Amino acid sequence: MIKIKESELHFSYVRSSGPGGQHVNKVSTAVQLKYNVMQSDIPEELKQRFNDRYRNRISKSGFLTITAQSFKSQKKNKDDAVSRLEKLFSDIKIKTKRIPTKPSRGSKVKRIEGKKKRSVIKKNRMKVNLDD
């Protein structure tokens, strides 16, 4: 998992848009998170993959902006913005190569028993020969 330093995140607080009455009109609860991907302290390969995947969301100066305004609380919106940034990083994680393993003795026996059962079922479907 990638750890993003708190010092690399820049928060600004703005008024939420949309309906909500007096509270929305006078309190700045929406959070804009700005994260400079190019100057961050993450591996170069990860920066490149992030940039390739989200190039339409990153500005020319290298900033990724996430706006969170789902909640009435400023703290909840801040936590939501950070979790959304972490989700973006988790979506581009490096796939690990699968190492194939050999089947256990028990699973081999179970497989053979299943085949034998199926074989008996199919043998019983044959026509009965009364001459014998």
Q: 69-102: per-residue pLDDT in tens?
A: 888 888 999 999 999 998 888 878 767 888 999 9
What H or E segment, with its residue span, contains residue 36? strand 30-36
Q: Per-domain residue ranges for the chain?
A: 6-90
Confidence (pTM): 0.64
CATH class (in words) of the domain with range 6-90? alpha beta
Q: What is the pLDDT of residues 47-71, one digit of tens each?
A: 888 888 888 988 888 889 999 988 8
Dihedral over alpha carbons 94, 99, 100, 102 (to 10 degrees): -150
Asked if residue 127 has pLDDT above 90, the reply is no
3-class SS at 14?
Answer: strand
What span, in angstroms and rounded, lies between the C-alpha atoms of 121 and 128? 14
DSSP letter assigned to residue 41: S
3-class SS at 88?
Answer: helix
